[in-house]
Structures are given as structure tokens and as C-alpha cells.
Amino acid sequence: MGETIVSIQNVCKAFGKHQVLQNISLEIASGEIFGLLGPSGAGKTTLVKQLVGLDLPTKGENYIFQEKMPSLKLVEKIGYMAQSDALYEELSAKENLEFFAALYGLKGAKRKTRIVEVMETVSLSDHLNKLVSAYSGGMKRRLSLAISLLHQPKLLILDEPTVGIDPVLRKSIWEAFYKLKENGTTIIVTTHVMDEAEKCDRLGMIREGQLIAIGTPDELKEKTNSASIEDAFLVFGGAAQ
């Protein structure tokens, strides 16, 4: 495995009395596609928000590129796609991309090239000048993904990137992830979709704020004698014996 890019150390998070993350520790290496798998409400979004510097743990620390989060220095190195799309509906896709590219300091020819490239990556090149309000839900997800890729981040954090995307496009988006990985990008993806979990290099299974298992999809299935990730999850979660 490559060098450690993400180190989560004894992270806890409480909202009032509600303990949402319970002593999570894990490390993610350079070039991995790491999946955080868990049901709705398990704490995945809460954890990734800390990794992008949008929230703080109640206890413990998160280090990214050996730097303690939150750190403004790392903004350029991290791409984040939130669970709900943050797009300007009344603008075209191109105008949205130009706006975010400007925020990242991309100018002139570089900006133009990156806009073309990221739209190709998400198969939206033919819809560049369309208003976002005329986009479908899946198209908006893909545009959000394109925006997160604009500045060629070394670490990409994607919160449920393929929700509302049909299986054909989902496949093409995963091909894009593999291409990014080949170019050295580390990717963290949250999901509750089991077949998507299978595509990750390693998985962290999260249930009720606890990391109940970690390993490659094959390791997790072997350890539990399960035919599927879904069954493995149930065994680790104590629901089936």
C-alpha cells in the first residue's frame, strides 16, 4: 500500500446527548478507493464532513496529508461532493463550472480545458449550455461530480455520488473513478448500495456510529463466510449468526 493520506484517530462526535460517531480509527492509503458503507443515519456524512474540514470531532483527530483538519492549506488538495447538490439552478452548467473554477483560481485556457475535460468525464459534454433547472436529478449529481474534479484534487471525497443515477451511467462514473485512481487520486466514497461497495478497494462498515469491520470486499466476505457484502454486513452487525 502507498503512503497514508487519511488518518482518523479515535474520532467521536456527539450532537447533544446523541453519540453519532464512536471512537472511529482508520487509515486510508494513497491511490485507494475506500468505501464507507452503512445504512442511513449510520454517521457516514458526519465523518466525511470532518474530513473536508466542515465540522469538528468532539474527541479525537483527523489528519489529511499529515495535516490536522480543519486546515485551509488543504482546500486545493481536496475535492468534495456533498450529498445534496449545491448548484445554481438559474445558470447554465457552463456558468456553474466557470463560477466554481474561478473560486479554485483556475484562469484562462486552463479553466476552459478543465471544463471540457470534467464534462467529458461525467458524459455531459452535450449539455454544457443547458440551464441546470432543466437537468434531471442524475445529471445534477454528475455536474456536482464534475465540479469537484475541476481543480484536480489529490483526494476526492464523495458523499453518495451515484444516488439517482441509472445503472449504465453508474458504470461509466465508476470507470471515471478507476481512471482517476490510475492517475494517483485517492477516493473516499460513502454508500449504502451493496453492489457499489463491491467496487471499492477497501471498505469500512459503519453501523450506529461504530466502525464494525474494515477490509477488502473479499476479506470481509471470507471472514464471515458470506456470499455477499450485504450478508457480511449483517454478520458483523450481529444481526445474523
Ligand X SMILES: Nc1ncnc2c1ncn2[C@@H]1O[C@H](COP(=O)(O)OP(=O)(O)OP(=O)(O)O)[C@@H](O)[C@H]1O
Does 41 contact ligand X by CB under 6 A?
A: yes
Does 207 contact ligand X by CB under 6 A?
A: no
- In the shown chain, the binding pattern of residues 159 to 198 toward ligand X, with x for contact by CB under 6 A and - for none, equals ---------------------------------x------
**Helices 108-121 and 93-103, axial angle in degrees (round to 10):** 130
For ligand X, the closer of residues 14 and 131 by Cβ is 14
164 phi and psi, to 5 degrees?
A: 80, 10
* Interface pick for ligand X out of 17, 40, 129, 225 (rule CB under 6 A): 40
DSSP-derived letter for residue 14 is E
DSSP-derived letter for residue 74 is G
**What is the Cα–Cα distance from 193 to 45, expressed in whole angstroms?**
15
Residue 17 CB, nearest distance to ligand X (Å)? 10
Judge whether 42 and 117 are in contact, CB under 8 Å.
Answer: no
Write out the binding residues for ligand X, residues 72-111 only, by CB under 6 A: 83
Q: In the complex, which residue's CB is closest to ligand X?
A: 45
In the structure grid, which three cell numbers stand for residue 66, read together? 499529515
* Interface pick for ligand X out of 5, 32, 45, 204 (rule CB under 6 A): 45
Which residue blocks in 52-193 are alpha helix, DSSP H? 93-103, 108-121, 137-149, 167-182
Nearest to 171 by CA among 184, 183, 162: 162
Does 50 contact ligand X by CB under 6 A?
A: no
Stretch of 34-42, 59-67, 86-94, 105-113 contacting ligand X, by CB under 6 A = 34-42
Q: How many CA atoms lie within 13 A of 150 on its CB side?
A: 26
Write out the binding residues for ligand X, residues 10-29 only, by CB under 6 A: 15, 18, 20
Amino acid (1-letter code) at residue 22: Q
* Interface pick for ligand X out of 35, 44, 62, 115 (rule CB under 6 A): 44
Does 202 contact ligand X by CB under 6 A?
A: no
Residues that bind ligand X (CB under 6 A): 15, 18, 20, 38, 40-46, 83, 192
